[in-house]
Each structure stands twice: as C-alpha cells, then as structure tokens.
Structure 1
Amino acid sequence: MKKKDLILGAGIIVIALAMLLVMQLTRGEEGNQIRVTLDGKIYGTYSLSKDQTIEVKDGDFYNRIRIEDGKAYMEEANCPDGYCEEQGKISGHTQTIVCLPHKLVVEVLENENDQSFGTSDPEDVAPDTIAK
C-alpha cells in the first residue's frame, strides 16, 4: 500500500464517523410522542419527553399509561386478561401497546414535525381492524 492510499482510507473513515456523530446529535428524543386511540378515535397525543401519567376512563373500565424517562408503558388496567400490562415499555417508532378488551391502542409517533408519520385526517390514523 502506498502512503496516499492510507491517507485516503483514513479520510473516508473520519468523514463517515463525523457523519454518524452529526446524525446522532441531531436525532434527539424531544420530538417523540405517543398517540392514544380509544375505539378508533384519537384520545390524545402526549410527549415522551415529559414524565406524566395518563388515565383513560370510559364507562366501567380504565387504563393508566405512565410516561417515564422517554418511555411509555401500561401501568395499570382493569381488563380481564391484563396482557397490555405485560407488553413492556415502548419508545421507538412502530412500537405499540394494545388493550383489546378496551379497544385502546398506544403507539409511538417518531417526530411531530415529520409529515410521513401522521396526517390531519382522523380516518387515516384510526386502526383498520379491532377484534373482540
């Protein structure tokens, strides 16, 4: 190998590492949100950057969603199976928590400013199937 080849290889590696660093620094978690959908209708949208508790009550049932350290999880629910409480913490796009008995969906929205992850039409964001 020649000295110029080594310099070229090192330069490419340095540029690649600089690009990775810039991507990580600009990505941030501040824009991440969750959307809670109840029976196909949007119940609310909440920031993952703020620790909070969301109580969803409808008739005889309730679900308590906790947002903590940039992650959301189902803290408590009075559904008969309790599977929603076992689904763990979510924080990345495409992750969801579903409570089928209560027809409740908690989904992560990656960035509120990114047009590819949401629309203003509620019909476009509603689940297309809910099974009993």
Structure 2
Amino acid sequence: MKKKDLILIGVILLAAAACWAGFRMFGEQKGNMLVITVDGEVYGTYDLSVDQEIIIGSTNRCEIKDGAARMTEADCPDQLCRKQKSIDASGGTIVCLPNKVVLEIYRNGEDEQADTIAQ
C-alpha cells in the first residue's frame, strides 16, 4: 500500500467514528417519556413522540405536541402550572401544587423511580 492509501483509509475510519459518535450522542430522541404523577402515585407514562391530549382526573388537562408537553387546563386558583413553559426532551418539570399533579420528562436511560421520598 502506498502512503496516500493509508491516509485515505485513516480519513474514512475517522469520518465513520465521528458519525457513529454523533449519532450516539445527538441521535434520535425516540423513547423520551412524560411521566405524570398525581398525589405521589404514577398516573401514566406517555411517549413524547406521539401527539395527544391527556385528561388527568377531573382537575387537569395536559397536551403533548411536537415532542413537548404542557398543561392546558387546571382548576386551581393561581393557574401557575398553565403559565409554565412547555417541557421537552431536554428535561423539565411542571407542577400543579393544589391538585398534586406533576409532569416530568425522563430521557433515554434514566431511571423512572424516585431516589428517595421524604415524608
């Protein structure tokens, strides 16, 4: 093999490794989940890639659209949960304290169990 052949093979291997690393780190966010808890109990787990509207009991309504979740309706007096920005695959939490509703994003590979619960 000539020197130019070795350089070409090296460049191709480097490009392949860079592509693999890029897909591994920044690849598709499929599998990101919205976990809804009500009064400390898991109400449901929903895929962020599926647009849908979720009615949470008789008190709240949540919407998943374009990979982001937001609270669209709540019967609490301050409406702070509705005023919070949407949460997406980068993480985040929306809390409705009066109704004890929590919307939380779990990314790929994260454990969905709480580490500790203080009472």
TM-score scaled by structure 2? Answer: 0.75
Q: Deviations over 1:71-113 (max 9, x none)?
A: 00001111100000011110135400000000110000102xx
- 1:104 to 2:101 alignment: yes
Matched residue, 2:39: 39
Matched residue, 1:85: 82
Query: Structure 1 residues 127 and 75 mapped into 2: Cα distance closer, same or farther (>3 Å)?
Result: farther
- Per the TM alignment, residue 14 of structure 1 is displaced from its structure 2 partner at its CA by 5.7
Matched residue, 1:52: 52
- 1:22 to 2:19 alignment: no
Cα separation, 2, equivalents of 1:126 and 1:39:
15
- 1:65 to 2:89 alignment: no
Structure 2 unaligned spans of 5+:
1-6
Overall identity of the aligned pairs, in %: 38
TM-score scaled by structure 1? Answer: 0.69
Secondary structure in 2 matching 1:50: coil
Cα separation, 1, equivalents of 2:116 and 2:57:
19
Contact 2:29–2:89 (CA under 8 A) maintained in structure 1 = no
Cα separation, 1, equivalents of 2:79 and 2:31:
30
Cα separation, 2, equivalents of 1:83 and 1:92:
22
1:76 to 73, 78, 85: 73
